[in-house]
Amino acid sequence: MAETDNQGTKEQIFESLTGTQKSAILMMLLGEDEASEILRNLNPREVQHLGRAMYSVQGLDQDTVNLVLDEFLAIIKEQTSLGLGAGNYIKNVLNKALGEDKAQSVLSRITPSSSNQPIEILDWMDSKSIAELIVDEHPQIIALIVSYLDFGVGADVLGLLPEDIQPEVVGRIATLETVQPDALKELELVMQKKFATNTNLRASQVGGVQAAAKIMNFTKQAMEARIMKTLAKDDKNLMVAIQESMFVFDNLVMSDDKSLQTLLRSVDTEDLVLALKGADEPLRDKLFSCMSSRAAANLQDEMEALGPVRLTEVQEAQKRIINVARRLSDEGSIVLAGRGGDDFV
């Protein structure tokens, strides 16, 4: 009986492992040279997630490791040749369909690890260091650099810049479209004192209203309000365009149940209680329907027990949940339907 219970515990441990943790276990079995070779092909955020997971799975028993290996082998057996050499295939198809310049613009967005961005080293720097590096540059240069960063990092860098230039930087990001090779050369000259790099001298697609909106999605409520207010004075139409492209909490009502269930498992209950205090009834009903009856009842009880709360607290909680939603969306774990995203049919 004890052996049966022990086996059940091991299976429970296995079931509790995330995909990243299972990948981390496989990485630690590969050996240092092979594991380091894999890490070289990941982007900074993936390296951080995987590295953190590698620490978290230290000390797992051999039986659990074997279960991970069995699952991995089963997946491998089901694989076909689809995907082998897919990179060159996709590149060739896009080149033939769009021409080299347009294809390069698309590829630079969907394959960031292979795009030779002139400032890709910034992906490995913290927000404070980046802000200190660019704070004295012209707002146009700052806008170009921030628009290349991960949206969350871009928002952090924006917050560390002087408040008087923040609205101008966001406005310039929103109006960026195609950056020509000459501009990239100039950017290299500005940054070459800090690092050396090569760039693919093709027109690169950066910035735009969507990029500005995504960066603003990661800013704090007060900072967002202040920047939008200043932008409205300079160019109201641009401000409205950015605002309409931002993903807000109420947009979650348009997402599918499976995505919402994944999101609900990934957010803090305290944030969810606060966020739902200010949510419309259709969204509340939608989220409650994605929970078990017991979980929904418990959450409603907590909302009632909380009493009145400040609007700013609700807004910040909603923004934290949206930040989690965007991260899961970027990882491919969920699909976000709504403003600022893709259209689905």
Which string of DSSP letters, residue by residue, matches 183-222?
A: HHHHHHHHHTTT-------S-EE---HHHHHHHHHTS-HH
pLDDT tier for residue 262 given thresholds of 50, 70 and 90: very high
pLDDT at 81: 44
- Which of 195-199, 245-249, 285-289 shows the lowest mean pLDDT across its residues? 195-199
Name 34's Cβ contacts closer than 8 Å, sequence gap at least 6: none
Mean pLDDT of the chain: 75
Q: What is the pLDDT of residues 100-116, one digit of tens each?
A: 666 665 555 555 443 34
Q: What are the phi and psi torsion angles at 117 (to 5°)?
A: -75, 140
Quick one: pLDDT band at residue 266, thresholds 50, 70, 90? very high
Reported as a single tens digit per residue, the pLDDT across 307-345 is 888 888 888 888 889 888 878 877 778 877 653 444 333
Which whole number is the average pLDDT over 4-20?
Answer: 71
267-272: Cβ within 8 A, 24+ apart: 267/320, 267/321, 267/324, 268/320, 269/299, 269/302, 270/317, 271/317, 271/320, 271/321, 272/299, 272/317, 272/321
CA-CA distance, 280 to 12, in Å (whole number)?
38
Positive or negative CA dihedral for 96, 97, 98, 104?
A: negative
Burial environment of residue 74 by CB neighbours within 10 A (0 to 12, 13 to 18, 19 or more) = exposed
- Nearest alpha carbon to residue 286 among 324, 316, 260, 321: 260
Q: What is the mean pLDDT of residues 256-278?
A: 90
Asked whether the predicted pLDDT for residue 61 surpasses 60, the reply is yes
pLDDT of residue 158: 92
Return the pLDDT at 248. 76
Task: Let me know: does 181 contact 203? Beta carbons within 8 Å.
Answer: yes
The DSSP-derived string for 166-187 is HHHHHHHHHH--EE-HHHHHHH
* Percentage of the chain exceeding pLDDT 70: 70
What's residue 134's pLDDT? 83
Inform me whether the pLDDT recorded for 36 exceeds 70.
yes
Q: Compute the average pLDDT of residues 31-49.
A: 77
Among 34-48, 208-222, 258-272, 322-336, top mean pLDDT goes to 258-272
Position 23 scores a pLDDT of 84
Give yes or no for residue 15 having a pLDDT over 70: yes
pLDDT band at 289 (very low <50, low <70, confident <90, very high): very high
Question: With a threshold of 0.75, does the pTM exceed it?
Answer: no
List 179's β-bridge partners, or say none: 204
In this predicted structure, the answer to whether residue 171 has a pLDDT above a threshold of 50 is: yes
**Sequence letter at residue 69:** L
Q: What is the mean pLDDT of residues 207-232?
A: 82
Query: Residue 42 — very low, low, confident or very high, per pLDDT cuts 50/70/90?
Result: confident
Residue 290 has a pLDDT of 92
Instruction: Look at residue 50 and tell me whether its pLDDT is greater than 90.
Output: no
Q: Report which residue type is found at 134.
A: I
Q: Which of 37-41, 162-166, 179-183, 315-319 has the lowest mean pLDDT?
A: 179-183
CA angle 100, 140, 209 (to 5 degrees): 65
Confidence (pLDDT) at 108: 55
- Give percent of the chain with pLDDT exceeding 90: 13
* Predicted local confidence at residue 45, as pLDDT: 75
Q: What is the pLDDT of residue 4?
A: 46
Residue 84 has pLDDT above 50, yes or no: no
Residue 191: predicted pLDDT: 64
CB 271 within 8 A of CB 320: yes
Find all residues with CB under 8 Å of 91, minimum gap 6, and list them: 103, 107
Q: Encode pLDDT of 142-159 as tens digits.
A: 888 888 788 888 888 999
